[in-house]
Amino acid sequence: MSDQLPVPAASNTFERIKRVRPDGGEFWSARELARVLEYADFGNFITVITKAREACVNSGHPVSDHFVDITEMVGIGSGAQREVEDWALSRYACFTCRQPR
- Which tops the pLDDT comparison, 7 or 66? 66
C-alpha 96/C-alpha 66 separation (Å) is 10
Q: What is the pLDDT of residue 13?
A: 87
Kind plus residue range of the DSSP H or E element containing 96: helix 91-97
Residue 91 is assigned to a structural domain of this protein: yes
C-alpha 87/C-alpha 64 separation (Å) is 11
Q: What is the extent of the structural domain holding 34? A: 25-97
Residue 56 is assigned to a structural domain of this protein: yes
Edge-to-edge strand list for the sheet holding 19-20: 19-20, 26-29, 80-89, 67-77
Residue 8 is assigned to a structural domain of this protein: no
pLDDT in tens, 51-87: 999 999 999 999 999 999 999 888 888 889 989 899 9
Residue 62 is assigned to a structural domain of this protein: yes
Residue 7 is assigned to a structural domain of this protein: no
Region 90-97 average pLDDT: 92
Sorting pLDDT into bands at 50, 70 and 90, what band is 32? Answer: very high
Residue 72 is assigned to a structural domain of this protein: yes
Residue 5 is assigned to a structural domain of this protein: no
